[in-house]
Amino acid sequence: MNVLPRWRLVLGKFADNRLQSGLGAQGLGERYRRLDRTLDFLYGREYQGRGLRKDGVGGTLDPSQPTLVNWLGEVRELFPRDTAEVIEKHALDRYGLTELVTDRQTLERLEPNQQLLRTLLGLRRHIKGDVLQVARRIIRQVVEEIRRQLESEIRQTFAGRLQRSRHSPFALAQNFDVLGTVRRNLKHFDRERQQLVIEKALFFERNSRRLPWDIILCVDQSGSMVDSIIHSAVMARILAGLPALRVKLVVFDTSIVDLSGYVDDPVETLLSVQLGGGTNIAQAIRYCTQLVENPHRTILVLVSDFDEGGPAGELVRAVKTLAEARVKLLGLAALDGRADASYDKRMAERLAACGMEIAALTPRRLAHWLLKVIS
Q: What would the pLDDT profile of 184-228 be if each residue is shown by its tens digit?
A: 777 777 777 888 877 777 766 555 455 479 999 999 987 678 888
Q: Half-sphere exposure (CA, 13 Å, Cβ side) for 353?
A: 10
Where exactly are the structural domains of the chain?
A: 4-136, 161-207, 213-374
| Per-residue pLDDT of the chain in tens (375 residues, 90 and over written 9) | 466 556 556 666 655 555 555 555 455 567 777 887 888 888 877 766 555 555 444 333 344 445 777 788 788 788 887 788 788 888 888 887 878 788 888 888 888 988 888 888 877 877 888 899 999 999 999 999 999 998 888 888 777 554 444 445 544 555 677 777 877 777 777 777 888 877 777 766 555 455 479 999 999 987 678 888 999 999 999 999 888 889 999 999 999 999 999 999 999 999 988 777 789 999 999 999 999 999 999 999 999 999 999 999 999 999 999 999 999 999 998 765 566 677 899 999 999 999 999 998 888 888 889 888 887
CA angle 264, 332, 225 (to 5 degrees): 70
CATH number belonging to domain 213-374: 3.40.50.410
Q: Half-sphere exposure (CA, 13 Å, Cβ side) for 304?
A: 32
pLDDT score recorded for residue 170: 46
- Encode burial over 305-334: b for 16+ CB neighbours within 10 A, e otherwise: bbbbbeebebbbebbbebbeeebbbbbbbb
**CB within 8 A of 352, min separation 6: which ones?**
331, 358
